[in-house]
Amino acid sequence: MREDRAVRMRKHKHTEERLALCADLLRDPADAANGVWQGKWRAEFAARMGSEPRRLELEIGCGKGGFILGLATRNPDTAYVAVEVCREALLLAVEKCKAADLKNVIFLCMDAQQLAAVFAKGEVEKIYLNFSDPWPKFRHAKRRLTAPAFLALYQKLLAAGGAVRQKTDNAPLFAYSLESFRENNWRLEDVTDDLHNSPQALDNIMTEYEKTWSEKGFTIHALTAFPPEV
């Protein structure tokens, strides 16, 4: 496996002041972790968007925000919550969406482990995991966003018919994810080891990592996974 390539982001100047200028796109992660927003996201977005959103979707680990900007621009009647634990990356994502005057995206700076308190059961229609950190060491496997505990969490958050969409350039993480979904009885669709040379490339929105690693010659793996019906 390639070394874990998590990049330490440089500190930006005036991060907090710049985030304050985008306050309308941010919600307090402490409120979120305390359940303040559970079951209330549609109403919150309706107030921002001027009408009830058609769907509510979630991106975990949005990084610098290129994907959520593209997706939210393409689907103005869908609401998106984007979660990112790194404040420096989040700043760039929030500023992009602010500059585009998007009303259908809200950001939370928090660890995905706390998401059970953020949404009501079945509140989310789709979850995007784009180029999640691979955590290659066995002792860190629980931190992978497709570890069994995360799949159990996603199953609670997803509405009937909802799905997880994963993209990665990291073959070992992809193999691990396929096994994790299968072992937990998720149904897989649209599995590919070369997204950019598949029919799915047509409506693909590239992330920052996707651009970087595909330009370096890595193929992109992708899947869509549906939780077992209970």
Residues of this chain that interact with ligand SAM (CB under 6 A) are: 60-63, 83-86, 89, 111-113, 130-133, 207-210
Selected catalytic residue, list 28, 111, 133, 190: 133
Q: Which is nearer to ligand SAM, 85 or 201 (CB)?
A: 85
Report CA 11 to chain centroid distance, whole Å. Answer: 22
Q: Residue 93 or 178: which CB sits closer to ligand SAM?
A: 93
Backbone torsion region of residue 201, taken as left when φ is above 0, otherwise alpha when ψ lies between -120 and 50, otherwise beta: alpha
Q: Is 31 a catalytic residue?
A: no
User: Cβ of residue 99: shortest distance to ligand SAM, in angstroms?
Assistant: 18
Nearer to ligand SAM, 77 or 193 (CB): 193
Residue 58: closest CA among 117, 108, 97: 108
124, 45 contact by CB (below 8 A): no
| The two three-digit tokens of residue 153, written as one number | 């969490």
- CA dihedral angle for residue 61, residue 163, residue 75, residue 30, rounded to 10 degrees: -40
To the nearest whole angstrom, how small is the minimum distance from the Cβ of residue 195 to ligand SAM?
13
By CB neighbour count within 10 A (0-12 exposed, 13-18 middle, 19+ buried), where does 26 fall? Answer: middle
Minimum distance of ligand SAM from residue 204's CB (angstroms): 12
Closer Cβ to ligand SAM, 71 or 89, answer by number: 89
Torsion from C-alpha of 62, 65, 71, 75, nearest 10 degrees? 100
| Residue 172 CB, nearest approach to ligand SAM (Å) | 14
* Minimum distance from residue 63 beta carbon to ligand SAM (Å): 3
Residue owning tokens 């979707």:
57
Distance, in Å, from the CA atom of 154 to the CA atom of 112, rounded to the nearest integer, reads 10
Nearer of residues 85 and 120 to ligand SAM, judged by Cβ: 85
Residues with a known catalytic role? 133
